């Protein structure tokens, strides 16, 4: 029958049952709305649960539901009542009350002018290159949030921090203050000495004591992680990592920054806010002199070689006739061009004479400055040549000989005096 009526068998069974019990009145259409709507929680039940919560403050909804012993109330209903009671009643034990937030305090290093505060820090990247994980060391100008210098390195060492600081000072001048964490690269004697000579107020913070917020580089690291970590993870060599790092700094400096919007600085682009403002400017020679114990600026010849303290060695033919920086730290001499290490040598630095000696075991790195024409003799690790050119000794100038005429005159005068 259900097949001819085009209805399901349970529907036919329901009609027959309604006709048998109610006769023709049972066949009238009825509303499908529920006859008894869902019951709301009554106040007496809430009070009852409240007293149970005071006696058993650490019990959960299941335990209170079983203590209540009311089968007409579900366990989830008891849980909702408990949540409401914790908001309404303040005398329920072990309930953590969120305290009122203190009013926001001004940032201790909030820059009011350009180059007032610089911030420096390093971040170990999440991906690994051959040899381990590398670091991104960045220096940030506080007023405009501009990255004024940055570098990549296998370690967060003092020489890398000084290299980044020198590059920033060469481009933008010297700031009033520099904020850094208490890592060894920024608290070393060499780094502190350079800050004193440049009259930079060097402030250090202790991240483990809740002072991370004082260094705005923490915010920068989060931005770097969100917008460029995927591109960083695709790098498989230091050369690729350095190229992506350069692209990141360019992107960061030329796109809008939310902090600049909050400070109402328009357009909210770091490089636009910084403009042409400079800090305290030093001539390049004087600035290099402040890093004198570690930094030796040199200009390469047409073959990409330089001379340092009687040692002549190869750096990179692709940077011929360019000014490079020779950094000496520990037993390593590194040739740096545009914040990139292009060559590295083992050396020995003589402190009393302030000279580098015994330069050997050179390594030339593949960088973006490689000569497009290649080199006549390809150089790689352990194949670079170091030539020692001793300074020739100065020959003493012999006093001029007296002529015979002069001697004769002296003899005549002596003879005259004796007579």
Q: How far apart, in whole angstroms, are the C-alpha atoms of residue 122 and residue 164?
A: 11
What was the pLDDT predicted at 394?
58
What was the pLDDT predicted at 385?
64
What was the pLDDT predicted at 405?
40
Question: Any idea which fold 117-274 has?
Answer: Nucleotidyltransferase; domain 5 (3.30.420)
Q: How far apart, in whole angstroms, are the C-alpha atoms of residue 248 and residue 232?
A: 9
Are 292 and 351 in contact by the 8 Å Cβ rule? The answer is no
pTM: predicted TM-score of the whole model, two decimal places: 0.65
What was the pLDDT predicted at 199?
94
Query: What Å distances lie between residue 213 and 107, 109, 146, 222, 407, CA to CA?
Result: 9, 10, 18, 12, 88
Q: Which residues in the chain come in under a pLDDT of 70?
A: 1-5, 34-40, 293, 371-385, 388-419
């Amino acid at each position: 029958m259900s097949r001819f009526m085009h209805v399901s068998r349970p529907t036919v069974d329901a009609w027959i049952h309604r006709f048998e019990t109610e006769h023709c009145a049972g066949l009238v259409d009825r509303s499908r709305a529920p006859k008894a709507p869902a019951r709301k929680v009554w106040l007496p039940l809430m009070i009852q649960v409240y007293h149970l919560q005071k006696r058993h403050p650490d019990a959960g909804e299941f335990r209170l539901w079983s203590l209540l012993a009311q089968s007409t109330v579900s366990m989830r209903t008891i849980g909702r009542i408990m949540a409401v009671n914790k908001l309404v009643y303040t005398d329920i034990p072990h309930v953590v009350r969120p305290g009122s937030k203190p009013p926001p305090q001004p940032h201790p290093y909030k820059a009011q002018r350009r180059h007032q505060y610089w911030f420096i820090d390093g971040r170990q990247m999440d991906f690994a290159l051959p040899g381990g994980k590398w670091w991104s060391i960045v220096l940030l100008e506080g007023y405009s949030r501009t990255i004024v210098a940055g570098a990549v390195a296998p370690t967060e060492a003092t020489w890398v921090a000084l290299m980044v600081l020198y590059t920033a000072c060469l481009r933008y001048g010297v700031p009033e203050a520099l904020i850094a964490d208490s890592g060894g690269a920024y608290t070393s004697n060499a780094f502190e000495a350079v800050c004193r000579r440049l009259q930079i107020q060097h402030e250090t913070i202790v991240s483990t004591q809740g002072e991370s917020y004082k260094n705005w580089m923490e915010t920068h690291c989060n931005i770097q992680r969100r917008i460029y970590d995927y591109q960083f993870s695709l790098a498989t060599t230091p050369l690729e990592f350095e190229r992506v790092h350069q692209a990141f700094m360019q992107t960061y400096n030329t796109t809008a920054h939310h902090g600049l919007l909050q400070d109402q600085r328009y357009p909210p682009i770091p490089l636009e806010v910084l403009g042409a403002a400079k800090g305290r400017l030093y001539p390049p020679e004087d600035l290099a002199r402040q890093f004198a114990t570690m930094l030796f600026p040199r200009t390469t010849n047409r073959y990409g070689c330089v001379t340092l303290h009687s040692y002549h060695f190869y750096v990179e033919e692709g940077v011929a006739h360019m000014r490079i920086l020779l950094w000496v730290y520990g037993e390593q001499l590194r040739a740096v061009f545009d914040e990139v290490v292009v060559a590295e040598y083992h050396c020995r630095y003589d402190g009393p004479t302030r000279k580098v000696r015994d330069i050997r075991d050179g390594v030339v790195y593949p960088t973006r400055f490689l000569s497009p024409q290649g080199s006549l003799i390809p150089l790689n690790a352990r194949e670079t040549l170091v030539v020692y050119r001793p300074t020739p000794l100065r020959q003493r100038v012999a006093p001029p000989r007296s002529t015979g005429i002069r001697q004769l005159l002296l003899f005549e005068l002596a003879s005259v005096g004796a007579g």
